[in-house]
A = this chain, B = another copy of it.
């Protein structure tokens, strides 16, 4: 496994790559969810590139950029064991060169849900992913569905900018009690960690209602809320039922695939989860 710490090293390795190239962009501190993305890439591509870059422009003032968890040595062990061919670990100076001003905006997709809670977040995400795409020039790129809005933004960007890249959304990987794997889960106290299982439990409860024929958006959102509100330490940021591709909040009964998504805070830690409801 080659570790490229500069764009030039990565490009040289890319030049030697055989077959289709798959990219798994990450911010490091890897868990089973990330490794499932590597597995998906390995299944489709002759060469698998993973990147580790904690992207400053997607963190707002007062967010957890500086304390975002990092463990490069362990990440490299996991990626090597998973069969990654090349790891890109670029510097901030090379990713954001002097005079840098280019930012990719996607109005509508980026200013709702997580984007409303974190202004500018998805502009930073879209921009850094475009940079990674231009460095690696992959045929396929893999993202987890846990960050559903991130996936919608990146798929929308690739479509709108006519990028020659297929953006693949991969299933959420969960802990045995249903909690979606996330690098931020380590921030949870034991009691918070236990209560955090209510997120997926709430989504499953709404999904069961949906399968029983409930189509009213507010009834489905309330089903999720009621379950989470049973937990003393959980503060709901939002529970959303939106069109799965435009992310527009639904007012009318569900007739198209819909994204049921939520963000819930346990103290300073915000957790995300979602399911897609298909009529």
Contacts and interface: CB of A to CB of B under 8 A. Distances in A.
Interface of A: 7, 11, 94-97, 99-109, 126-127, 130-131, 134-135, 137, 156-157, 159-164, 245-246
A160 B107 contact: no
18 contacts: A7-B162, A11-B164, A95-B162, A96-B160, A100-B160, A101-B107, A101-B108, A101-B156, A101-B160, A102-B104, A102-B160, A102-B161, A131-B160, A131-B161, A131-B162, A134-B162, A134-B163, A137-B164
Given A104-B104, A105-B105, A164 B99 contact: no
Nearest to A101: B106
Q: Across chains A and B, which 9 residue pairs bring their CB atoms closest together, nearest first? A: A102-B160, A101-B106, A100-B160, A134-B162, A131-B162, A134-B163, A103-B105, A102-B157, A101-B108
A126 B106 contact: no
Contacts of A107: 101, 103
A102 to B, nearest CB: 4
Counting every copy of the chain, the complex holds 2
A115 B96 CA distance: 23
B99 A161 contact: no
A134 B159 contact: no
B109 A101 contact: yes
Chain B CB within 10 Å, residue with most, of A11, A95, A97, A104: A104
A248 to B, nearest CB: 11
A105 B102 contact: yes
Given A11-B164, A101-B160, A131-B162, 18 more contacts: A95-B162, A97-B160, A99-B156, A99-B160, A99-B245, A99-B246, A101-B105, A101-B107, A101-B108, A101-B109, A102-B105, A103-B105, A103-B107, A130-B161, A131-B160, A134-B161, A134-B164, A135-B164
